[in-house]
Structure 1
Amino acid sequence: MEHRAAIGRHTALPWKHCIHLTVLLVQLSLPEVAASCRILRCNSDFVAATLDLGSSSSSSGGGGGGGGAALTREAVNAGYCSALRSYAMCTKRMARACRGDLAYHSAVQGIEDLLIQHRCPRAGPTAQPRPLPQGTLLGDACLYERSFSIREGRTPEYLHCGVFGDPHIRTFNNDFQTCAVQGAWPLVDNEYLYIQATSSPTRGGTHATALTKITIIFKNWRQCVDQQLYQAELDNVPAAFADGSVSSGERRGHHSLTVRTQSPGRHAEIRAAHIGTLLVVRQSGRSLGLSVRSPRGIVEAFGPEQDLQLCVWGCPAAQRLNTLRPPPPDFSSTTSAQAHCAELLPARDVYYQACVFDLITSGDLNSSVAAVNALQDATNMISDAQRVHLQPVASAEQGRARLDLMLLLLLLGMLGTLTGA
């Protein structure tokens, strides 16, 4: 009996390790490509929900007879079925954002095969989702960085998002996109923070748009801060919150929120100590810009209903423009724009591309300042200097193609393993 139990422990659900390996290799290959389609989050949630199932079967299967081992295998299989149903629900929520994404469709097919293979009922309990990282504010609750360092013994991992110009977006995942969006769009929407940007057509151009309004809501959080509102509009970037205050949430001699400026009416720097977040709002030429530096635990504290965040997933695929191919008025204007931006920017990176694009579409030399300021903010907010200058868009697209091919090969290998098992 003991031998049979051991065999059950080693042969039950061999696909678990294949999925773990597939997800790990994909995430390590090109982590910067996770944009509007959050399939990697579904993958990682599934892995997290199944990590302990193998150890539970090992720890409880060796002491009893064959019936005990069979019950253990049944319990483990029920746990995997619950995780698979949750995995399937997650992919259904991603259906619209992941339309046409190879990784998404491969995951959907893989889930379907696994549900059939392990005879999982379509209806039944689902695995509990991972809790949002609200516990990171325990201890010295209103000083996120200090609390995190004491608890983890290290500084938090910070992510950066920048939005500027026509508008261009550098997401928290280091994707770079130019959007044709007009109207109000959420940039960030999580448990602590909501940021909305409004983009409007510029005068004199049929293609050019610009950020004309930025709204930031700091949500009520425990004893640290009551809900606070900040709003900036073109030609009016106040160094104060909407209620006229420059600080909020005083506790133990510290303020959770503070606002200061280096250029009244055109610049504001907001520090949110309770979430370890820095925001810079500025006017560059005839557009507003926003730069955000926030810990990963804060950025990822959102639920499935908060499914539209330009700083997290970028702009919708149908709203993306190619900065390598702006609408050219004539050759001399393009050459002039390239020369002007080359004088202002140190590298032919995405900020240079954005500068040229804005000059050509707007015809306004002052529009180049937006890319210069965005690059300066990125330099100040990103600790690793090697990660400041992003590769051109074409290179990123080639990288995505390589990732799709790698993922396809990995999934085919995984399905081959399942068939052989």
Structure 2
Amino acid sequence: GFSWCSLYCPSTCHSDVCIFLSAVRASCRILRCNSDFVAAKLDLGSSGGGEGGAAGGAALSREAVNTGYCSALRSYAMCTKRMARPCRGDLAYHSAVQGIEDLLIQYRCPRAGPTAQPRPLPQDTLSGDACLYERSFFSREGRTPEYLHCSVFGDPHVRTFNDNFQTCAVQGAWPVIDNEYLYIQATSSPSTGGSYSTTLTKITIIFKNTRQCTDQQLYQAELHNVPAAFADGSVSSGERRGHHSLTVWTQSPGRHAEIRAAHIGTLLVVRQSGRSLSLSVRSPRSIVEAFGPEQDLQLCVWGCPPSQRVNTLHPVPPDSMPSAAVSTHAHCAALLPVQDVYYQACVFDLITSGDVNSSTAAVSALQDARNMISDRERVHLKPFASAERLQARLDLLLLLLSMLGTISRA
């Protein structure tokens, strides 16, 4: 990444452009400029700003790629110029302008010249169901899509799209989902009261620009403020033939928001549970897996980084409550009769935080799982499911090695 990107948002650098996650004014659309630049780069089939092949598989010469890259940069610069007045006080805007200047110099791009052409709409987007993912998928495949579920809640605990369950020691901002359609970032902060626990205090969701369905849209929730609207104040976006690609709804103003993204068949639920935020996601497999190798940090896909994983079986109680574990099991058992990973998370959160209200995070996460997972058998995960899968793989490996040893001796 470049110094301007690493300086202002080091956790979200993507090749030559930085997706800025600060709150954006309704009139300042710098995120749209960023998204259009990324789209123009995708047309080159390059992730390095000057290397790689064309999207169709045919290799482009270095000169052709560089020419296209310069065109994309000039379009990027024009977009920022149009945003000069509404974005004049926005840090992300000024960082982008400086970054473009650096790139123009680095790639020796002429200031004057052609700009990137808008990406043509695929032929199948001309149908009336193009922005209704489920209908479009059924029309193509003759079946409903396979949905995956992820949740982030509590201290924080992560249930990944692959049904692994982990507890993270992460602090600060971390990508939860990062694919071609969606970027979600969660911020975890130390709990008050001097305990060892952390809580989710901020969730930022960016629906990336999908030209035929919706412009880029930002949603942001913070502790004690879960709005039932996007950052620009709207409750819907992407109107097309009587349907909206994005809609926000709430059943508890200030504490709950449900966002439906019809164009990608995705449902997101943001809650405040106790003194922590939580996020639950249901998304089709094809959407979840639409990401490149540079998008290598996603809590919902790979879970916590190994160095940041916590053993939930041995939570550390706060110093002020040395006997905190005495009644936690009974309390969680009353709320969560099945001793699964949600029960385990409930016990962990109560012991580490000393706050009885922290148990509501696990209860809400389980309820979301029941609503989002159609297979009832997959709702409850055993606490040792991941360890059992790992042990099974180790047993198989040992068996194969012993068989190879037997063959070699023969």
TM-score by length of 2: 0.66
Aligned CA distance change for structure 1 residues 211 and 415 (closer, same or farther; 3 Å): farther
Cα offset, 1:414, TM superposition: 9.1
Aligned CA distance change for structure 1 residues 135 and 369 (closer, same or farther; 3 Å): farther
Q: Which of 385, 396, 400 lines up with 2:376 in the alignment? A: 385
Cα offset, 1:332, TM superposition: 4.2
Measure the CA separation in 2 of the matches of 1:154 and 1:405: 37
CA contact (8 A) 2:155 2:349 kept: yes
Aligned CA distance change for structure 1 residues 293 and 251 (closer, same or farther; 3 Å): same
Q: Which amino acid aligns with 1:403?
A: R
SS for the counterpart of 1:335 is coil
Larger helix fraction of residues: 1
Cα offset, 1:406, TM superposition: 1.8
Q: Which amino acid aligns with 2:268?
A: L
Measure the CA separation in 1 of the matches of 2:224 and 2:349: 19
1:257 aligns with 2:246: yes
- After superposition, the C-alpha distances for 1:79-130 in whole angstroms (9 at most, x for unaligned) are xxxxxxxxxxxxxxxxxxxxxxxxxxxxxxxxxxxxxxxxxxxxxxxxxxxx
Q: Which of 137, 157, 181 lines up with 2:170 in the alignment? A: 181
Measure the CA separation in 2 of the matches of 1:269 and 1:338: 31
Counterpart residue number, 2:345 = 354
Counterpart residue number, 1:373 = 364
Q: Percent identity?
A: 76
CA contact (8 A) 1:235 1:283 kept: yes
Q: Which amino acid aligns with 1:276?
A: G
Aligned CA distance change for structure 1 residues 361 and 252 (closer, same or farther; 3 Å): same
Cα offset, 1:346, TM superposition: 2.1
Q: Which amino acid aligns with 1:192?
A: Y
Cα offset, 1:409, TM superposition: 4.6
1:98-137 equivalences under 5 Å are none
Q: Which amino acid aligns with 1:382?
A: I
CA contact (8 A) 2:317 2:353 kept: no
Cα offset, 1:333, TM superposition: 2.2
- After superposition, the C-alpha distances for 1:149-192 in whole angstroms (9 at most, x for unaligned) are 11111100000001000000000000000000000000000000
Measure the CA separation in 1 of the matches of 2:125 and 2:183: 18
Measure the CA separation in 1 of the matches of 2:389 and 2:241: 49
- After superposition, the C-alpha distances for 1:261-320 in whole angstroms (9 at most, x for unaligned) are 000000000000000000000000100000000000000000000000000000101100
Q: Which of 190, 198, 211 lines up with 2:200 in the alignment? A: 211
SS for the counterpart of 1:225 is coil
1:214-233 equivalences under 5 Å are 214-233=203-222
Counterpart residue number, 1:398 = 388
Unmatched runs of 5 consecutive residues or more in structure 2: 1-121
1:232-381 equivalences under 5 Å are 232-328=221-317, 332-381=323-372
SS for the counterpart of 1:297 is helix
Q: Which amino acid aligns with 1:178?
A: T
CA contact (8 A) 2:125 2:212 kept: no
Aligned CA distance change for structure 1 residues 137 and 288 (closer, same or farther; 3 Å): farther
Measure the CA separation in 1 of the matches of 2:360 and 2:137: 36
Measure the CA separation in 1 of the matches of 2:226 and 2:405: 55
CA contact (8 A) 1:161 1:311 kept: yes
Counterpart residue number, 1:47 = none
- After superposition, the C-alpha distances for 1:12-54 in whole angstroms (9 at most, x for unaligned) are xxxxxxxxxxxxxxxxxxxxxxxxxxxxxxxxxxxxxxxxxxx
Aligned CA distance change for structure 1 residues 261 and 251 (closer, same or farther; 3 Å): same
Aligned CA distance change for structure 1 residues 337 and 137 (closer, same or farther; 3 Å): farther
Measure the CA separation in 2 of the matches of 1:373 and 1:404: 35
Q: Which of 192, 211, 220 lines up with 2:181 in the alignment? A: 192
Cα offset, 1:359, TM superposition: 0.4
CA contact (8 A) 1:205 1:361 kept: no
Larger of the two Rg values belongs to structure: 1
Cα offset, 1:401, TM superposition: 1.8
Measure the CA separation in 1 of the matches of 2:286 and 2:383: 28
CA contact (8 A) 1:138 1:147 kept: no
Q: Which amino acid aligns with 1:295?
A: P
SS for the counterpart of 1:372 is helix
Counterpart residue number, 2:117 = none
Counterpart residue number, 1:94 = none
Cα offset, 1:396, TM superposition: 2.6
Measure the CA separation in 1 of the matches of 2:371 and 2:241: 29
Measure the CA separation in 2 of the matches of 1:152 and 1:200: 44
TM-score by length of 1: 0.64
CA contact (8 A) 2:186 2:204 kept: yes
- After superposition, the C-alpha distances for 1:55-92 in whole angstroms (9 at most, x for unaligned) are xxxxxxxxxxxxxxxxxxxxxxxxxxxxxxxxxxxxxx
Measure the CA separation in 2 of the matches of 1:381 and 1:136: 28
Aligned residues: 284
